[in-house]
Amino acid sequence: MRVASGKVVGGQIIYEGDLPEGADVTLIADDHEVGFEVDAELKAVLLEAIAGCDRGEKISADQLLRELQSDE
């Protein structure tokens, strides 16, 4: 997984990068009217978490649920 930026031009997303043809993508619109807002500090934390996953630093959903339950 990687984070990339692009722009909407004429109703289409313009991305200049090296994603392979047919790659599945997820879009998060940087629009203050929908979704949620994050400040620069939280954005940096989220990007570092994604980078950690790319490095293999992740746990399963089951493990996450067990950890959340143990914190209650």
Q: Which residue has the higher pLDDT, 50 or 2?
A: 50
Instruction: Please give the Cα distance from 47 to 51 (Å, whole number).
Output: 6
- Encoded tokens for 42: 């939280």
**16-34 pLDDT tens trace:** 888 888 888 877 776 656 5
Token pair for residue 36? 């949620």
Q: In the chain, pLDDT over 90 holds for what percent of residues?
A: 4
